[in-house]
Each structure stands twice: as structure tokens, then as C-alpha cells.
Amino acid sequence: MILIMSHICDIISIMCYILHMSSIPLIRLGQAIRAMRQHRGLTQQDVALRASVPRRKVIEIEQGSPRVVIETYAKVAHVVGGELSLAPARRPTLEEVREIFTDED
């Protein structure tokens, strides 16, 4: 019984790792959008008004939330002077992986 529980915990840990790894591109995107917003001297409220989205969505985007639809990411990116495009994927750095597992969320 203990061995089975240990395997279940291992499987759950692996599944959590996979879920976190899939969120890294959104986290990077959110960080880039935040940097572009700040570089342009815009507040989150400025961006929200110009993109016609709630300020809460801008906050979620900057956090890399997977709950925000891609259309909203695109609107916000446009307001800060960016655009979404497809590029070859890269593996996360060790530091990015550490950030995921030390995140307090």
C-alpha cells in the first residue's frame, strides 16, 4: 500500500511539472508585455482602456495566465507596440524552472 501511494505521489509530481512547463511561454509573454508597457510609460489602466479590456485582464496577462484568451493577449500586445507571432519553441532555462517551483501562487 505504501509503495502504491509513493508511485501515485510521483505521478502527481510529474503531472504538476508538465503543467508548469507548459505555462512558461505565457509567463515569458507576460513579462515581455509588462516590460514593453513600462518602457512606454503606460499604466495597466492605460493599457486596459486602449485595449477595451478590464484592468484585471491586463494584470492576468502580465502574470502569464492561461485563463486569458489569445485574442486579449493580442489586443494588449498591440497597445504596447507588439504583436504575437509564432516562433520555434525553446527549452526553459534552469532558472525559469526554479522560478516555477519557488512561486508562492
Q: What is the pLDDT of residues 44-98, one digit of tens each?
A: 999 999 999 999 999 999 999 999 999 999 999 999 999 988 877 777 778 877 8
How many separate domains does the chain show? Answer: 1
Q: What is the dihedral of CA 12, 25, 41, 78, to 10 degrees?
A: -130
Domain containing 105 equals 24-86+95-105
Q: Which residues contact 57 (CB under 8 A, 6 or more apart)?
A: 48, 68, 72, 76
In angstroms, rounded to a whole number, what is the distance separating the alpha carbons of residues 76 and 51? Answer: 6
- In a domain, residue 12? The reply is no
In angstroms, rounded to a whole number, what is the distance separating the alpha carbons of residues 30 and 65? Answer: 8
- In a domain, residue 6? The reply is no
Give the global pTM: 0.67
